[in-house]
Amino acid sequence: MTQIELRGVQKFFGEVQVIKDLNLSVADNEFIVLLGQSGCGKTTTLRAIAGLETIDDGDILIDGRPVQTTKASDRDIAFVFQLYALYPHMNVYENIAFPLKATRKSKAEVDKEVRAVAKTLQITHLLDKKPSALSGGDMQRVAIGRALVRRPKALLMDEPIGALDAKLREEMRAEIKRLHMKQGSTTIYVTHDQVEAMSLADRIVVMHEGILQQIGTPQEVYSRPANLFVARFVGSPVMNIAPAAVRETAAGADVTVDGADEGFQFPRQVLADLGAANGVSGKLALGIRPEGVLIERTARAGYLPVEATIIEPLGAYDIVDLKVGAQMLRARTRSGYVGQPGEQVFARIDPAQAHFFDTQSGLALGVGR
Amino acid sequence: MAHIELRRISKRFGSHVALRDLNLSIDDGEFFVLLGETGAGKTTTLRLIAGLERPDSGQVLIDGVDVGSWGAAERDVALVLQQYSLYPRYTVRENLEFPLKSKIRRVEPEEIKERVARAARTLRIEHLMERKTDRLSGGEMQRVSIGRAIVRHPRIFLMDEPLSNLDAKLREALRTELKNLQMTLGATFLFVTHDQIEAMSMGDKIGVLNHGRLVQTGSPQQIYTDPRDTFVASFVGSPPMNLLDGRLVAGRAVMTPLAFELPLGVMPRQAVEGRPLIFGIRPEDVYLESGAPVEGRVHDIENHGVEKILTLRVADTMLRATVPAQTDVAIEEPVRFAWNENKVVLFDQGSGLSLRHAG
């Protein structure tokens, strides 16, 4: 049973504030992913929890007890780095057994635990090998084994598979997820890769410039981004963001992107929603993911004529760039649907998938669904 | 604007064969992508066309003229590399002007001004003109490098992994910009990459290189739906095509070792009945359905937001299925699946060749 809590954590490197008033509560057995670009403060946060970094203000609590004065080695937390950090002169068995040396366990007990961990990670056949004889993936398996063998309260991982090639990264990601399901230890995992975050996390913590942007399940972060940063950071191809204006029409409402003659039809409800969110007047951006831009090849009620300027065939589907007023909107279509660049097609925005943002604050206005 | 042809080109470096008997034809105004892994011979091909390497045998023709004896400068091609190779102490404007100020070119000052202005507009770097290049971001530097190529009005643009050093979002944006640029200029582009997404999204045509051999040439759609062999099948597409060993028995694909079987009534049966095959099926053509013929377990879930890519496990066999984002499954959950039998590609297990291509 391990809960981790951060309360009002502040951290400076000289003049630069790298963590700004961070509050985070991690439940027992939870898999939390800290997601952000390099320099966003995610690794510093992780190192502060591990005790490898001090904090300037706030509290870090493990199971309800403040740990700022507790040394890293006494926090009972295991850390896995991107670089494997194995002892090169020891074989795999000795590397995994090493953290148990200080625990006064009998040789038989140590042996039992090392073999149990090795079995879980499927590296029993490598126990006699030296690290130099291992592949990158196997080295990282051993590093994880060494972290798990002393049954730490929590497991912290800093881009553990970032240095591996794409195929191995996928394999290891699956293994880490499965291991977590089996072992059920509280895990905090740092990455800049949004697919990794979406695939592993119970909840994702998106960070940017030392500030927590959003905490939520992968589904929440993807379909209800809290602000423009999260909207752009999660999802590929990136969400379309276009300055837009909303106005009332006979049929309901129109959302017109800048420079366009005509607006996309929306239900009247959007007016009331945006009114309540105070977002009507000229500082509004429409956000729509490519799968929310719907295309037809023939004219249809509620669809606007637009020009398809570029078609990117990606095999399973196409990404089509549409010129709408002064803006470019990218749409996802089934492959080969739009024949030629330059073709006129008809587009609609799915109101259920639309987002609206205040362009000044960057905050989502929480409407459109 | 130019047509490029390579005829029976071979090239060795010491004992290493870089290119074997390469035949390649690139049309005027075409965006051609050479796709292959590191060491496949892509960069060598590019350098041969640029005149920076000489072939051991074979001919390089530009607009029908054998340019074998021409130097790099005479060939009038522009090279854009992964590293930006800009003059760091010069401003963007000076960098763009530089190739035009060379004495052999003799471009009039008025003309220089106009070409630089036009390139800056095309690449949307007008606001950066007076900035020193060491103050630019990676994406901006790469735009300036491309600008330096554009101002020369070369006959051919050769690009060697120009987007590889950029981060994912920027790569995504520059992909469309480059494609747009090529369409605007109407120029012949030869673009080299190891990234199949770049190849698919930008190329009018793709040539897939493997160990110095050109395995297949075709439109992105042809390469994707009708790969010539299992190398192309697994190299193009992300996630790659599922490749399953098996045999065709009485209208059913029976996977070996005997893990499961799926209906396959649409194939010409007689010729391949019983022969060791590889069944190729794209992840988007594998679907989950309650009454489907095979049961597997969910081994992994990769969440892309817009969709999920499931890894399914049947005994020791793994295969991928792309499913809608709303599909609610958990790891280790049993699921039933089938395939779209019209989309199955058959490969010979020995040669790896597609039966459609091998006959």
Cβ within 8 Å, pair A316-B282:
yes
Q: Is the pLDDT of residue A281 over 70?
A: no
pLDDT of residue A53: 93
| Closest B-chain CA to A175 | B300
Whole-angstrom distance, CA of residue B154 vs CA of residue B76: 5
**Contact in structure between B61 and B43 (CB atoms under 8 Å):** no
> Mutate which of B164, B204, B301, B304 to test chain A, going by most A C-beta atoms within 10 A?
B304
Whole-angstrom distance, CA of residue A179 vs CA of residue A323: 47
pLDDT of residue B166: 80
CA-wise closest residue to B296 among B248, B245, B349, B332: B332
* Ramachandran category for residue A282: left, alpha or beta (phi over 0 → left; psi -120 to 50 → alpha): left
pLDDT band at B122 (very low <50, low <70, confident <90, very high): confident
CATH match for B242-348 among 3.40.50.300, 2.40.50.140, 1.10.630.10, 3.40.50.720: 2.40.50.140
Residues of A in contact with B224 (CB under 8 A): 313, 315, 335
**Contact in structure between B358 and B275 (CB atoms under 8 Å):** no
pLDDT digits (tens, 9 = 90+) for B273-293: 888 999 999 999 999 999 999
Whole-angstrom distance, CA of residue B324 vs CA of residue A115: 40
User: Where do the domains of chain B lie?
Assistant: 4-235, 242-348
| Closest A-chain CA to B236 | A315
Q: What is the mean pLDDT of residues A123-131?
A: 94
- CA dihedral (B72, B73, B77, B82) positive or negative: positive
Give the CATH H-level superfamily of domain B4-235: P-loop containing nucleotide triphosphate hydrolases (3.40.50.300)
Whole-angstrom distance, CA of residue B151 vs CA of residue B112: 8
Task: Compute the radius of gyration of chain B from its Cα atoms.
Answer: 24
What lies within 8 Å, CB to CB, of B268 at 6+ separation is none
* pTM confidence score: 0.89
> Mutate which of A202, A314, A330 to test chain B, going by most B C-beta atoms within 10 A?
A314
Which secondary-structure segment (H or E) carries B201? Answer: helix B196-202
Q: What is the mean pLDDT of residues A345-358?
A: 95
Q: What is the mean pLDDT of residues A36-51?
A: 94
pLDDT digits (tens, 9 = 90+) for A143-166: 999 988 888 989 999 999 988 888
pLDDT of residue A227: 97
Q: What is the mean pLDDT of residues A246-267?
A: 92
pLDDT band at A279 (very low <50, low <70, confident <90, very high): low
The answer, yes or no, to whether the previous bond of A243 is cis (omega within 30 of 0) is no
What part of B 34-93 touches A (C-beta under 8 Å)?
none
pLDDT band at B47 (very low <50, low <70, confident <90, very high): very high
Beta bridge mates, B160: B192
Which secondary-structure segment (H or E) carries B221? Answer: helix B220-225
Longest Cα separation, chain B: 76
Cβ within 8 Å, pair A174-B179:
no
pLDDT of residue B269: 55
